[in-house]
Amino acid sequence: MRVALVTGAGRGIGRAIARRLSAEGCRVALVARNREQLDETAAECAGQVHVIPADVTDADAAERVHGEVEQRWGPVEILVANAGAGHSARLERTTDADWQRMLDLNLTAPFRFVRRSVPSMRAAGWGRIVVMASTAARLGEPYIAAYTASKHGVLGLVRAAAAELARTGVTVNAVCPGYVDTPMTEQTIATIVATTGRSAAEARETLARKQPIGRLIQPDEVAEAVWFCVRSGAVTGQAIQVDGGAEQ
């Protein structure tokens, strides 16, 4: 029974990933800031779970979380660094604080969790690391400079780590969703409504049309891509697109 750790497990994509890993027989440590949301995720999981409230941007979070998992079940074998957030603003309205927040959450926190996972995975000769990136890790769009920079950075981290660990039995991949039907996308819709005067339905349709399939991606579809990365020992250093065909 593999030991998995999922950050950002309280809702949305993270919750779907936790459900999928649990259904596949993994023990799953659930990490997020909101204890109530974590408990809701735990109730939807099929097997053994352990709830660990934590802010992944804290400098000691990776050490504390991994230590708690190791004490309970042993070393983390599957890491899914999913916690993240977005930010939208014109370049000249993006503050230093906005910029730093995106880097701290979307790039530095995954780096710390990956770094903490590697020694035990390397020693065991097996490990799976999946980092949640975005289509913004590969493309640039207006008004999301800080978010895009952080996601480009995390894809670079994934590729470098995969190259370094290629002969160890440890794989490292990024999953790059388009617009997913999650609370984070609801925030994007609210921003569009506030800045353009469109209705929420119109804003949602605009995002849905960005995918050639004409709809938002479902969280379970992203979780399926994560599970593919876990199952495969030959796929590493990749950016797995889950974008409805947006990038060919």
Query: Does 3.40.50.720 match the CATH number of domain 3-178+219-242?
Result: yes
Cα–Cα distances (Å) from 74 to 3, 78, 194, in that order, read 7, 12, 47
CA distances (Å), origin 227, targets 54, 123, 192: 24, 23, 32
Check if the beta carbon of residue 86 is closer than 8 Å to that of residue 184.
yes
| C-beta atoms surrounding 119 within 10 Å | 10
Give pTM, 2 decimals: 0.93
Residues with catalytic roles: 147
Torsion of CA 203, 105, 165, 137, to 10 degrees: 30
CA 232-233-236 angle, to 5 degrees, is 90
Q: Where are the domains of the chain?
A: 3-178+219-242, 179-216
**Rounded-to-integer distance, Cα 4 and Cα 144, Å:** 31
- 3-state SS class at 93: helix
User: Tens place of pLDDT for every residue, the chain, 248 residues?
Assistant: 899 999 999 999 999 999 999 999 999 999 999 999 999 999 999 999 999 999 999 999 999 999 999 999 999 999 999 999 988 889 999 999 999 999 999 999 999 999 999 999 999 999 999 999 998 898 888 889 999 999 999 999 999 999 999 999 999 999 999 888 877 777 777 777 777 777 878 778 878 787 788 888 899 999 999 999 999 999 999 999 998 887 65
